[in-house]
Amino acid sequence: MAVRVLFVCMGNICRSPMAEGMFRKAVREAGLESRVETDSAGTHAYHVGSPPDPRAQQAIRQRGEDISDLRGRKVADADFERFDYILVMDGDNYERLIERAPSRHHGKIRRLLSFSRKWPNLDVMDPYYGGPQGFEENLDMIEDAVRGLLREIASDSGANAR
């Protein structure tokens, strides 16, 4: 049975697709593709159907991953049932999902950086209105956190993550 992970930000064109991409890469490198499923979504419907921001695509491409296949979507009520981990980028989106989700699913909703060793429980700030450096800083934080997430998933499933 696969572990299902959903990454969530506001518009689903910057932070959450970058997190999905970095996590896909980590899962692939660990040889866990058959045990882990991933997706991303936004709390708002601003960019439904849109590809990730070109700056996000460029920044992650430089780290060896392509996210051009992803398209923005809004979190659906069914996501609370479907996913084992619902990982948000910041406190605002955390609060939005906690308010929306049935209480039995609150334990699934966590900040992505709760898995980070370098930036525990901080927000991954939205780089949308800034320059390329914001995307790089986001990816540094995301990369550290997805490694921690993968360690937890691998230890829970008895797999050996790198």
Catalytic residue numbers read: 9, 15, 126
What is the C-alpha separation between 90 and 8, in angstroms, rounded? 9
The residues pairing with 8 across neighbouring beta strands, listed in sequence order, are 41, 88
Q: Answer whether 25's CB lies under 8 Å from 152's CB.
A: no
DSSP string, 64-120: T---TT----B--HHHHHH-SEEEESSHHHHHHHHHHS-GGGGGGEEEGGGG-SSST
